Amino acid sequence: MNQQQQLSVQTILRSGTATAWPICLGYLPIGLALGVLAQQSGIPWWAVALMSILVFAGSAQFICVAMLTAGASIPAIIFTTLVVNLRHTLMSSSLAVYLRGVERKFLAVFAYGVTDESFAVNMAKFRDENWNRWQALTVNHTANLVWILATVTGSLIGQLVPQGAFGIDYALTGMFICLLVYQFQGRIYIITGLIAAAISVSWYLLIPGDSYIVGASICAATAGYVLQCRYRRGK
């Protein structure tokens, strides 16, 4: 740990941003799309900037724009945001394993940038490489900066971007596919992923709302854990 912390600021920034750029590449079209939608719903660009700074959470921001367009109330939008973002409690808990004993000030700043994407990339890096927390923090904040810029740009140039151009609708899905591959660290991980997919699809079809993400994750991780214990005992 001590040795890692002696990496120069320059090295940290370079490796952190190099790791973040693919996330940024994915964020560009999605952020632009969000900005365009917001602009079409009559939300001014400064409000888009304010939203991206205070709420760094793509899916919640899309839902917010849709709900504002539909005339939803402020408490209703805030409550929906909470539900959609509950999955991050699981991600932060997993990250805590690699940030044991780190000072609270750092954790408070780090937590702001925990998204599906930065989480998946940082977890894979923490597991496979000598990844340190400053590099992880750089990933979080580079992605955040690009996100803010992309959403604001989208709201400013909204009318110029044709719908569905260049397959931008697929950017997020493509990103998730690769992030999922990063998590395949062995057979039990693949099995857990398959269980999660099956439960999540069934849950999504049967139960309205967004509880399927957290629900399926907890069920699948538990099932995977039980299988892992059985396998270990059997050996």
Partner 1 sequence: MTFADYLLLFGGMGLVTYLPRAVPLLYLAHKQLPQWLIDWLGLIPVAVLSALLAPALFTDKITRTFELGKPEFLVAIPTLLFALKTRSLGGTVLVGMFLYWLGQSFIF
* 70 in contact with partner 1 (CB under 8 A): no
Decide: 110 and 137 in contact? Cβ < 8 Å.
yes
**Residue count, binding to partner 1 (CB under 8 A):** 98
Q: In sequence order, which residues have a C-beta less than 8 Å from that of residue 199 and are 6 or more positions away?
A: 215, 216, 219, 220
- Provide the minimum distance between the beta carbon of 39 and partner 1 in the complex, in angstroms, as a whole number: 15
Among candidate residues 100, 88, 103, 104, the one with its CA nearest the CA of residue 126: 100
- Provide the minimum distance between the beta carbon of 213 and partner 1 in the complex, in angstroms, as a whole number: 5
Decide: 24 and 143 in contact? Cβ < 8 Å.
yes
Among candidate residues 212, 173, 216, the one with its CA nearest the CA of residue 195: 216
- Provide the minimum distance between the beta carbon of 170 and partner 1 in the complex, in angstroms, as a whole number: 4
Site string for partner 1, 205-224 (x = CB under 8 A): x--x---xx--xxx-xxx-x
CA gap 45, 152 in Å, rounded: 6
Residue 235 DSSP code: -
By C-beta, is 9 or 101 nearer to partner 1? 101
- Provide the minimum distance between the beta carbon of 10 and partner 1 in the complex, in angstroms, as a whole number: 22
CA gap 42, 58 in Å, rounded: 19
Pick from 1, 9, 74, 160 the residue near partner 1 by CB under 8 A: 74
- Provide the minimum distance between the beta carbon of 165 and partner 1 in the complex, in angstroms, as a whole number: 8
Site for partner 1 in 83-142 (CB under 8 A): 85-97, 99-102, 104, 107-108, 110-112, 114, 116, 119-121, 123
Site for partner 1 in 19-38 (CB under 8 A): 21-23, 25-26, 29
CA gap 115, 60 in Å, rounded: 11
By C-beta, is 8 or 42 nearer to partner 1? 42
Report the greatest alpha carbon distance in the chain: 62
- Provide the minimum distance between the beta carbon of 178 and partner 1 in the complex, in angstroms, as a whole number: 4
In total, the chain counts a number of residues equal to: 235
By C-beta, is 128 or 157 nearer to partner 1? 128
